[in-house]
Chains A and B, each alone.
Chain A
Amino acid sequence: MLFYFFRRLGRALVTIVGISVIVFVVARLSGDPTLQLAPEDATPEELAQIRSELGLDKPIWMQYVVFVEHVAQGDFGTSIRYQQPALSLVLSVLPATLQLGLSAFVLSTIVGVLLGVVTALKRDTWIDSGLRGVVVVGQAAPSFWLGMMLILLFSVELQWLPSSGRMSLAHMVLPTMALALSSVAVVLRLTRSAMLETMSADYIRFLRSKGMSKSLIVWKHALRNASIPVIAVLGLQLSYLIGGAVIVETVFNWPGVGRLMVEALNARDFAVIQAGALLVSFFTVGANLLVDLLFGLVDPRIRYE
């Protein structure tokens, strides 16, 4: 288990380095930041001076090393727009995004697994085809459009739920639903097929020959075995949901990283974009590491590897 964990930890660290390289390279693609910082009538000498202040006259790999050094010290650059450290700007809105992404994650996992089990047990009945029909449509719809349609139905027509802001628990309902639906579809389909496969396994037949009750067979043995391929995609789902949250936030005026980044994008405030992308990605990598640990908890074959 310890070996397994350290190997995963190693991979996560490599992934984090990879992310930092990509963010750094893409940031360099955005053009010469000197021109943004310098006054418009700057002479070439002044430009050169700013460049050397920023370290841009050094070779690219040294620039990367400097970039990593700064990031490691928590220096993600300064927002041009707010004249504040980008890190504190992102950190102030990160909880809102994580709240939305994580609640959608929990919701879609629970609902997706439950419905997946139900559809597998009621295979080829109207419940099965009905539920699968709904989620297939849900999976195809873009989350932001789904969010708008939810607002149209529940806020504009029925006036049951608020459509914008982050004041109360009720404010969370619609964005969470809009975000979770497509993920529910993925988890449901995967759980269903995994359940169908495990339910036909030999050990299930042996359990029946032991006289075990159906509920024990389904919920203790079949579900636990079926959860392995489901857990395998949870990390991906989380990354997808955190990313999706960024877009859905815009629709519901949810004060999270998404809104901050869209604003930063319009203002070409690159330090903020860079900090947001790095922090959210780091969080995703951490969450994936937790999912890997969950794997070890569920499957003894990994624990004893």
Chain B
Amino acid sequence: MSKADAMAAKVLPLMPEPTPSEPLVEVRDLRIQLRSRDGARLLNVVNGVSFPLHRGRTLGIVGESGCGKSTTALALMGLLPGSARVAGGQVQFAGENLLAKSEKEMRELRGAKISMIFQDPMVALDPLFTIGDQLAEPLERHLKLSGAALRERQVSLLQAVSIPSPETRLGQYPHQMSGGMLQRVVGAIAIACNPALLIADEPTTALDPTAQAQFLDLLARLRDTYQLALIVVTHDFGVTARLCDDVLVMYAGSVVERGPVREIFDHPRHPYTQALLAAIPQAQEDRQGRLRTIEGQPPDLARLPQGCAFAPRCPNVRPKCHELPPPLREMGDGHVASCWRAGEV
């Protein structure tokens, strides 16, 4: 255990371990519709997403921009934009359906039991207030801390995310800190009230490479120390490989493949997953080869094809693919994929 871990463990006592069989989060057939910009149509931006998530485990949600991964994350927080609405499904969290909760009830959970980290740390904090002030807000609200106890907790939280000289930092403003440092502050605020679930939406996209690696390590450490259930939304398989236990690949609002991270990397069953993996630039092998890309464009959600949404871009498409959308099929070892030819590959 590193010094920071020891410090963190002192601050945040471990929550009682839930029974291993019982997932903390269980999303079932989540459907979300978005009103199109002209207000005339409803687009199915999330189309039947399901997954379980246990404490101490990490799920990566992967896909191109606009595939519905961020919308799924926001739905879990109850922070969908006004133009979106939940059209069906359940989000079970510690035995309760979050989708049935009122805004007021959700407000009690947000920041306390469920927290979120957003993409760009440079704009995630209010520029007019000190780090300390913004760190104190959830502590005052959810844990009712004040005075010396509040101060002590603020300092130890900054220590938990490896920020040096926390006493000084508390009095500083966001513009006085670097992006990597700010993302740690955002992380500290997110874990301030000892949440059970942490959602990170593209947490490293806006950071420089060194800060990216450091932040991913930090997330892993926080997850292990506090037994967090962690959801990482990303377009980057590198992040997934480094952090996740399970991966969920989304395409055009639907889950195309889900499974343990090794399974997905070693035996991707869906041609979209295969294409994504092939598109990762390789440092060692294939130096002469050109970077591979996926032919075609992501589909327009307003004009989804009748059959498989990936069919128009699929290299090994069959006539059946154009007729019926493929269901998610069990491939063994908790690995599921929605492709008519998943069994063949």
Binding site for B on A (CB under 8 A): 201-203, 205-213, 216, 221, 224-225, 298-301, 304
Contacts and interface: CB of A to CB of B under 8 A. Distances in A.
A224 B129 CA distance: 10
Contacts of A225: 126-128
B118 to A, nearest CB: 6
Given A211-B108, A221-B129, A300-B127, A205 B173 contact: no
Contacts of A208: 79, 110
Contacts of B58: none
Given A202-B124, A209-B77, A211-B111, A304 B176 contact: yes
A212 B137 contact: yes
A298 B111 CA distance: 27
A202 B137 contact: no
A160 B115 CA distance: 57
Contacts of A206: 116, 118, 124-125, 186, 189
A23 to B, nearest CB: 39
Contacts of B108: 211
Contacts, number: 76
B126 A209 contact: no
Contacts of A213: 107, 141
Contacts of B125: 203, 206
Contacts of B126: 203, 207, 221, 224-225
Contacts of B292: none
B128 A211 contact: no
A138 B27 CA distance: 54
Contacts of A300: 127-128, 130, 173, 175
21 contacts: A201-B123, A202-B123, A203-B127, A206-B116, A206-B124, A206-B125, A206-B189, A207-B137, A208-B110, A209-B111, A210-B111, A210-B141, A211-B109, A211-B142, A212-B137, A213-B141, A224-B126, A224-B128, A225-B127, A300-B127, A301-B173
A205 B112 contact: no
A201 B120 CA distance: 11
Of the four ranges (under 10, 10 to 19, 20 to 34, 35 or more), the interface on chain B belongs to 20 to 34
A299 B128 CA distance: 6
Contact of B141 (A211, A299, A301): A211
A203 B124 contact: yes
Interface in B112-157: 112, 115-116, 118, 120, 123-130, 137-138, 141-142
Interface string B170-203: 0001011000000000100110000000000000
A36 to B, nearest CB: 57
A20 to B, nearest CB: 37
- 4 smallest CB-CB distances across A and B, nearest first, come from A211-B111, A211-B110, A210-B111, A202-B123
A210 B189 contact: yes
A36 B128 CA distance: 59
Nearest to A213: B107
A205 B125 CA distance: 10
B243 to A, nearest CB: 20
A221 B190 CA distance: 18
Most buried by A among B108, B129, B130: B129
Interface in B154-176: 173, 175-176
A203 B123 contact: yes
B176 to A, nearest CB: 7
A203 B129 CA distance: 11
B92 to A, nearest CB: 20
Nearest to A206: B124
Interface string B323-337: 000000000000000
A205 B109 CA distance: 15
B190 to A, nearest CB: 8
Given A299-B128, A301-B175, A205 B79 contact: yes
A291 B42 CA distance: 48
Interface string B46-82: 0000000000000000000000000000000101000
Contacts of B77: 209
B107 A211 contact: yes
Given A206-B118, A210-B141, A300-B175, 9 more contacts: A206-B124, A206-B125, A206-B189, A209-B111, A211-B108, A216-B137, A299-B128, A300-B127, A304-B175
A203 B125 CA distance: 5
Given A205-B118, A225-B126, A210 B110 contact: yes
Contacts of A216: 137
Contacts of A221: 126, 128-129
B166 to A, nearest CB: 19
Contacts of B190: 209
Contacts of B175: 300-301, 304
Contacts of B130: 300
A88 to B, nearest CB: 45
B90 to A, nearest CB: 21
Contacts of B120: 202
B138 A210 contact: yes
